[in-house]
Amino acid sequence: MIHSTEGSAPLIISFPHVGTVIPADIAAGMTVRARAVEDTDWHVEKLYEFARARQVSWLEPTLSRYVVDLNRPPDDAALYPGQVSTGLCPAATFDGEALYAVAPPDVHEVNRRRELYWQPYHTRLRQLLDAAIARHGYAVLLDAHSIASEVPRLFDGRLPDLNVGTNDGRSCGSSLGESVYAAACSGPFTAVLNGRFKGGFITRHYGQSAGPVHAVQLEIGQSTYLESDSVEWSDARAAPLVGVLASIVEVLLSWRPEL
């Protein structure tokens, strides 16, 4: 249920929310709307396909975030206190519609999913990071995401196109976060550093400003590359975005921590 590739570069790209599969036993208790997995990070792995040629490590799940959210803490602690939390095993869509026609997962089911689906992803991510550290002395982690550009329940107004998160500078060397943000600003898109999305569990847990893992989250507004009011890929919209992402990946590959 995980596709992974170990590359020779220091960069690992994680795609925790691109999966669309819901196991039959779980889907049986869900609503029709839930089975449409509308809150998927649609086609984000396709945006970064160019990076495979640069020998990056790659980690991509097949399971939907509705089964278990790989970017949430195992204890389900809130990442953004005071704001709506979507949960380790979400019970509602981003706009608040129930995912389950029956009761949402109880504590035993949450524990089962954490062990069966959440833990293997993080075990593999740790292996890829350790391999990069062994090879280079450090690792750079890009946690790659996208979200609908407008989700009133989660944030006000329209989200900037490119949202760079470094947990307010705590998840990577300061020069890395600033350089990624500068690359995000180099194209025709709006960008912000540590705005609404500062980085989820993966960025915060694995990344440290003092290393050896330096982690950055990039949350992309989906209006930058999807057809209007759909989840379909748009070549015309995606082309300039892929150009900017190539610049960001180049920053991540060429950056070195200060000794």
Domains of the chain listed by start with CATH number? 2-16+41-62+105-254 (3.40.630.40)
- Mean local confidence (pLDDT), 79-102: 86
- Nearest CA to 241 among 139, 140, 125, 149? 149
CA distance 46 to 210: 31
Answer whether 141's CB lies under 8 Å from 214's CB.
yes
Residue 212 CA: distances (Å) to CA of 32, 172, 204, 209, 255:
44, 9, 13, 8, 13
- For 183-239, write each residue's pLDDT tens digit: 999 999 999 999 999 999 999 999 999 989 999 999 999 999 999 888 999 999 999
CA distance 121 to 118: 6
Q: What is the pTM of this model?
A: 0.96
pLDDT of residue 259: 61
Q: What percent of the chain has pLDDT over 70?
A: 98
Averaged confidence pLDDT in the chain: 95
CA distance 100 to 109: 13
pLDDT of residue 156: 86
- Mean local confidence (pLDDT), 68-97: 87
**Does position 86 have pLDDT exceeding 80, yes or no?**
no
Residue 217: beta bridge partners? Answer: 143, 165
- For 128-163, write each residue's pLDDT tens digit: 999 999 999 999 999 999 999 988 788 888 999 999
Tokens of 245: 């992402």
